[in-house]
């Protein structure tokens, strides 16, 4: 009996040790299922738990959606939460370098945005935010913001004159629409009731958000202005990251790189269907507004105080130069058509996944493993006279390639005059 008892005790101890070895990763998104942040988080959870379930279990928003985005960043900084996927504006008060991503009319299309953000310039942002205690892992896609309104179709500057447009509360958003001749009105989210009652004439947001909140049911006209690109940052607590082994760091990085790539494909695969839905429900869709004139009219916004800091100017200039380069394959992106019958899903380009390898060595906080091929941070871009070399691109290691659709966002009925039915906070929606 004694040998059997000892064996049972040993088995129980080994089980307890194995259980103790599993780390809980609290991952914050502050978003509902179906939103870009949650699609990334769900994909990451699936990937890392299938690949390294003996080491990690992911808890997504365990405290709910109540905390604000700034609080979520602070939780990651202090290791109160280990990871987060949040819109880039959430990081602005901590590191203004992220502002360059949403500069008006910066990117031509989604594929160009992904190429630039996955390359050395986007990598410089990811490394720069290490100075605020966050390990930058990848960019996810919230999509381009477009203009809708109830007054008239918008194609030219003349069409924008005097339009009362709800915008997020930020200097660049206000300045953008003032430069284009409109009348911006910063308001908190949700805005369905205000649009329905005519208190505001229009709004600007990505297509998924228009569908999610049924704004197409209270807006007559949509113009595909692509005036600002919305990105989401996937980050980890640097305090926590630096306690991990290089193997675990590589696993987590590879899983997040794959998760954001899947989210981008899922997001783009639904854009044409959304346009079809809007057109079928009566919206007019202006697919080719005068974007070049809009871009020229807003070029001087680069001199705003928000972008005047030399390192922001340097990075924004380099991104603008990169965006002027011709697309490697002009057929990769299909233009959505104005008529519902002609709108069809485009052939989606294959994403390239960068395997970042060992984590780079931060200037102030020593990482367990330094990269000998570290690219310059945004702070060092001013000294870069030569164009930055292209990033090495290869499929992420040890992640099983599996195509997963984006979790369907439940279609919410028009909330009428009850804004609380809308769900998200103003920050989460914008």
What is the per-residue pLDDT for 425? 42
| Cβ partners under 8 Å of residue 80, min gap 6 | 26, 74
309-356 pLDDT tens trace: 999 999 999 999 999 988 766 444 434 433 333 333 333 233 333 333
In whole angstroms, give the CA distance from residue 314 to residue 121: 11
Q: Which structural domains are found in the chain, ordered by start?
A: 22-339 (3.40.190.170)
The answer to whether the beta carbons of residues 106 and 320 sit under 8 Å apart is yes
Query: How many Å separate Cα 386 from the centre of its chain?
Result: 29
| Cβ partners under 8 Å of residue 218, min gap 6 | 150, 192, 195, 196, 414
- How much is the pTM? 0.75
The answer to whether the beta carbons of residues 235 and 98 sit under 8 Å apart is no
What is the per-residue pLDDT for 8? 52
What pLDDT tens digit does each residue of the chain (430 aa) get? 555 554 554 454 454 444 458 999 999 999 989 999 999 999 999 999 999 989 999 999 998 877 799 999 999 999 999 999 999 999 999 999 999 999 999 999 999 999 999 999 999 999 999 999 999 999 999 999 999 999 999 999 999 999 999 999 899 999 999 999 999 999 998 999 999 999 999 999 999 999 999 999 999 999 999 999 999 999 999 999 999 999 999 999 999 999 999 999 999 999 999 999 999 999 999 999 999 999 999 999 999 999 999 999 999 999 999 999 887 664 444 344 333 333 333 332 333 333 333 333 333 333 333 333 444 444 444 344 333 333 333 333 343 333 333 333 333 333 333 333 333 444 456 7
Phi and psi angles of residue 428, each rounded to the nearest 5 degrees, phi first: -65, -35
User: Within the chain, what is the greatest distance between any pair of CA atoms?
Assistant: 91
Q: What is the DSSP string of 61-96?
A: STT-S-S-HHHHHHHHHTTSSSEEEEEGGGGTTT-G
What is the per-residue pLDDT for 67? 75
Strands 221-237 and 284-286: parallel
23-53 pLDDT tens trace: 999 999 999 899 999 999 999 999 999 999 8
What is the per-residue pLDDT for 421? 37
In whole angstroms, give the CA distance from residue 209 to residue 112: 22
Helices (H), 101-206: 110-117, 120-128, 157-160, 171-179, 192-197
207-234 pLDDT tens trace: 999 999 999 999 999 999 999 999 999 9
């Amino acid at each position: 009996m004694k040998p059997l008892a000892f064996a049972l005790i040993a088995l129980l101890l080994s089980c307890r040790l194995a259980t103790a070895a599993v780390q809980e990763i609290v991952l914050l998104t502050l978003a509902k299922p179906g939103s870009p942040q949650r699609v990334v988080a769900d994909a990451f959870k699936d990937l890392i738990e299938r690949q390294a379930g003996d080491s990690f279990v992911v808890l997504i928003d365990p405290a709910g959606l109540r905390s604000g985005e700034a609080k979520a960043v602070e939780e990651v900084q202090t290791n109160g939460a280990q990871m987060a996927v949040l819109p880039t504006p959430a990081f602005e008060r901590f590191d203004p370098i992220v502002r360059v991503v949403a500069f008006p009319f910066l990117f031509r299309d989604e594929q160009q945005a992904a190429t630039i953000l996955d390359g050395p310039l986007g990598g410089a942002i990811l490394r720069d935010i290490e100075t605020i205690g966050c390990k930058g892992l990848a960019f996810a896609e919230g999509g381009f913001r477009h203009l809708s309104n109830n007054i008239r179709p918008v194609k030219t500057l003349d069409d924008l004159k005097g339009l009362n447009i709800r915008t997020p509360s930020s200097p660049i958003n206000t300045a953008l629409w003032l430069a284009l001749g409109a009348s911006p009105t910063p308001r908190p989210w949700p805005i369905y009731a205000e649009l329905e009652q005519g208190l505001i004439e229009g709004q600007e947001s990505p297509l998924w958000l228009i569908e999610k909140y049924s704004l197409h049911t209270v807006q007559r006209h949509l113009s595909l202005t692509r005036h600002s690109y919305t990105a989401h940052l996937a980050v980890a607590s640097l305090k926590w990251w630096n306690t991990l082994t290089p193997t675990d760091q590589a696993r987590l990085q590879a899983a997040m790189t794959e998760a954001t790539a899947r989210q981008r494909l899922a997001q783009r695969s639904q854009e044409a269907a959304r346009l079809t839905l809007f057109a079928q429900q009566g919206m007019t869709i202006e697919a080719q507004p005068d974007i070049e004139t809009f871009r020229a009219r807003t070029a001087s916004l680069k001199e705003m105080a928000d972008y005047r800091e030399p390192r922001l100017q340097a990075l924004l200039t380099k991104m603008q130069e990169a965006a002027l380069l011709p697309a490697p394959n002009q057929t990769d992106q299909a233009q959505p058509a104005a008529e519902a019958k002609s709108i069809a899903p485009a052939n989606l380009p294959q994403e390239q996944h960068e395997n970042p390898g060992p984590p780079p060595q931060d200037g102030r906080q020593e990482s367990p493993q330094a990269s000998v091929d570290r690219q310059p941070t945004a702070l060092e871009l001013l000294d870069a006279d030569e164009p930055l070399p292209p990033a090495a691109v290869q499929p992420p290691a040890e992640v099983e390639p599996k195509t997963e659709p984006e979790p369907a966002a439940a279609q919410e009925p028009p909330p009428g005059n009850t804004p609380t039915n809308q769900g998200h906070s103003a920050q989460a929606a914008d």
